[in-house]
Amino acid sequence: MRYFSLAVVAVLLSVAPGYSQKGKKPAVAGPIDIKGKTNEEALALLIPGMARAELPDRNAPQQQWQEICLAAGAPGNEAKRLEVCKLMIAKLGADVPDPARFWLLKQLEYIGRVESVAAVAKVIDDPSEVLRESAIRCLANNPAEEATAALVGKLSAKDAKTKIALANALGYRRAASAASALAGELTNESPAVAQAAARALGRIASADAAAQLNKARAAAKDPVRLWICDAYLLCADKLVKDGKTQEAAAIYNDLYGNEKNRATRMAALEGVLRSAGDDAGARIVKLLTSDDRDARNIALLAIAGINSNSLKAVAAAADKLPVQAQVLLLGALANRREKSQAALALKASQSSDADLQRAGILSLGLLGDASALPLLVETAFSKSKHAEAARASLGTIAGPGVDEKLIAVLAAEKQPSTRIGLIAIVEARGLAAAVPVLHEDARGDDAAVRQAAMKALGKLAEAKDVGAMIPGILKAAKGVERENAEKAIAAVVARIGEPDKRADAIVAAVSPDNRADLLPLLGRIGGPKALALAKQSLDTKDRSAAVLALANWPDYSVSDVLLDLAKNAPEPELKKLAFKNLARVNSLDKDHPVPPRFAVLKQAMAIADDVEKKKAVIDALSTIREMEALRLVVPFLDDKLLNQAACKTIVELAHSKTLRQPNQAEFVRVLDRVLVICRDKELIERAKKYKANQ
């Protein structure tokens, strides 16, 4: 990038149009007063404004005239539209400045009809390239058939750019009557004109256009021949859409059989297969045995669209195909979801060829039905090298009775490793009907099966199932298994719309015998009923479990009781646990008002008697968007054990513009200290940004 000195820029601005010698841009010219004027009078007044030297100065009069044109072009205003169009037609002569004529042509493009064709056509001969292209665009959008004739009449223009614009316009109009005239340009000495003509004929795609292209193709040389072939293919595509398949097939076969250009032949081959009807199957089979990789791929893609008779022909010949072709065929059938060919997939899945066997197993996932489940289950949980493919198919196979049979297989399975695999598949498929079976597994004797079942229940179970999940909690071993089981139930109850009712089923199941086991779970769920039970349990033999429940709590509501425990609990471990989670709940519940949260954290800091506790409070203070929080943290910048935690919290507080900007001076002083002390490069960059008030 080149840079100019300020002196050079000043000189340029002083002489640039629209700027005064002092470098100031003058005011843009405003609207012209046409109130009470007839349309003819208004146009006479507006044309000089539309022609002003500076673009911004033209805007107001242009918009004023455009509003008149839009109103005149509204439905039911034919007389007004005709009047306005005639006024503009009279002003398209060379005596009117080019910028104004350009704007009038733009309006005629929207509201002009047959009355404007002749006058607009004359502008195509104008010396201005901009006006010529504008006039062509105007006629391209004119609905009158006379506009086509006018465009065709101008194809005799000698200027190549004009010819290209005319050809594009005729193609845009899909002007069938222009086919012969456009064909004459296919031999134009300008390749760009010939290309535009070919493209236009391809868009027109009429019978005459196709005939003209075919006639010119014989003598054409590349690259014009290639453009003609592309257009000829477009004609065939249009014939297919119009239901004229035989005519399209003739073009496709001609191009495929007689053209040397490979791209043209392969494009034509797609059409050959698409238009072959019942013969497509035999053609595809032949191509699948070909050494031509591109042709094979085209044949495979064509399988998606062939009719049932052709599909049967392909399937019947599958055994005669090379193994690799059979593999590709199964993939194509699977993409088509062609369940009528499930037998072919099943046969392949039992092949002695490893590649074909794998393809068969994979395709059963999309082609198979319930009868394929035994084979897939046996393979999926065996030492077969296709086990992963079978598991993938078990995840996708669908049809009547598939889900029911899969659940029955799970219920009957005795091998733990297989049972775990089936549970994972049931979970992935979202089979809520398997929940009763999973309840049994969740309270079974095998720990690995229990964990898999509880995990699946976390996804599949509903609120009504929570009670039946509780035995799974009680069966789970304490530690990781118990924690994961609690998380599974918490995930289920989180889907209950009324938060205060989420703990109901668990609270109802609590007894003196199981209270210690269920209190930590209640802590994960929260709610007033659970909190009342946890507080009551602090005075029982299950005190430790009650504190653990409070430590698990998901919101600020336990703040007071945790503060009391952090101050007064006689057990050091429970006191430490309460303190740690006191800081956590006061940073977690950001929707709770700031003042009471800050008050609690301030008290927590006062009783923090080791580095770990102080760091927990410093971290929590990063969520308190108050200057007092900043001031509470700043002294710890002098503490070598805590200054990095203090730096992080200060930068987080500075991130809040609503807190920082009114107190920028104080933040700058503190951030200066952070920049000296902090060792985290990312925090340093953020501190610099906030110090600069960005």
pLDDT in tens, 654-681: 999 999 999 999 999 999 999 999 999 9
Computed over every residue of the chain, the mean pLDDT equals: 91
The pLDDT of residue 23 is: 47
Q: What's the pLDDT tens digit per position in 405-454?
A: 999 999 999 999 999 999 999 999 999 999 999 999 999 999 999 999 99
Contact of 44 with 56, CB cutoff 8 Å: no
User: What is the average per-residue pLDDT within 1-22?
Assistant: 33
Average pLDDT of the residues in 599-628: 93
Among residues of the chain, what percentage have pLDDT more than 70? 96
Sign for the pseudo-dihedral over CA of 40, 46, 50, 52: positive
Residue 134, Cα to own-chain centre: how many angstroms?
38
Query: Looking at the domain assignment, is residue 2 inside a domain?
Result: no
pLDDT tens-place string over residues 99-110 = 999 999 999 999
**25, pLDDT greater than 80:** no
The secondary structure of 60-103 as a DSSP string is HHHHHHHHHHHHHTSTT-HHHHHHHHHHHHTT-STTS-HHHHHH
Integer Cα distance of 269 and 233 in angstroms:
11
- Beta carbons of 456 and 426 less than 8 angstroms apart: yes
Please give the tally of structural domains in the chain: 1
Residue 544 is assigned to a structural domain of this protein:
yes
Q: 524 lies in a domain?
A: yes
Structure confidence at residue 26 (pLDDT): 57
pLDDT at 16: 33
What is the pLDDT averaged over residues 375-384? 93
Q: Which residue has the tokens 């054990």?
A: 641
CA distance 648 to 619: 8
| Mean pLDDT for the stretch of residues 307-327 | 88
CA distance 295 to 611: 72
3-state secondary structure (DSSP) of residue 464: helix
Q: 267 or 591, which is more confident?
A: 267
Residue 367, pLDDT score: 92
Task: Say how many C-beta atoms besides its own lie within 10 A of residue 143's C-beta.
Answer: 9
Helices 245-258, 207-217: axis angle to 10 degrees equals 10
Residue 693 pLDDT class (50, 70, 90 cuts): confident
195 within some domain: no
Is the predicted pLDDT of residue 1 greater than 70, yes or no? Answer: no
**Residues 132, 124: contact at Cβ < 8 Å?**
yes
Question: Which domain does 536 fall in, by range?
Answer: 508-554
What whole-number distance in Å separates Cα of residue 465 and Cα of residue 87?
A: 79
Task: Quickly state the pLDDT bin for 589 (edges 50, 70, 90).
Answer: low
Indicate whether 533 belongs to any domain: yes
Residue 334 has pLDDT above 80, yes or no: yes
Burial-class residue 146 by CB neighbours within 10 Å (0-12, 13-18, 19+): middle
Rounded Cα distance, 623 and 636, in Å: 17
Please name which of 650, 636, 654 lies closest in space to residue 691, comparing C-alpha atoms.
654
Query: In the structure encoding, which two tokens stand for residue 213, read together?
Result: 């292209």
Q: Which value, to the nearest 10 degrees, does the dihedral of the CA atoms of residues 639, 644, 645, 647 take?
A: 100
Can you tell me which residue has the tokens 């105007």? 138
List, for residues 52-78, the tens digit of each pLDDT value.
989 999 999 999 999 999 999 999 999
Instruction: Decide if 414 is inside a domain.
Output: no
Say yes or no to pLDDT of 49 above 50. yes
- pLDDT at res. 8: 31
- Report the b/e string of 392-415 with b at 16+ CB within 10 A: bbbeebeeeebbebbbebbeebee
Domain for residue 433, yes or no?
no
* pLDDT bucket at 638, cuts 50 / 70 / 90: very high
**Strand intervals (E) in 515-555:** none
* Alpha helix positions (H), 337-446: 342-349, 354-367, 373-380, 387-396, 402-412, 416-429, 435-442
Residue 417 located in a structural domain: no
178-218 residue pLDDT tens: 999 999 999 999 999 999 999 999 999 999 999 999 999 98
Q: pLDDT (tens digit, 9 = 90+) per residue, 442-474?
A: 999 999 999 999 999 999 999 999 999 999 999
Phi and psi torsions of 576, nearest 5°: -65, -45
- Buried b or exposed e, range 453-464, using 16+ CB within 10 angstroms: bbbbbbebbebe
Task: Output the six-digit token pair for 424.
Answer: 């994972």
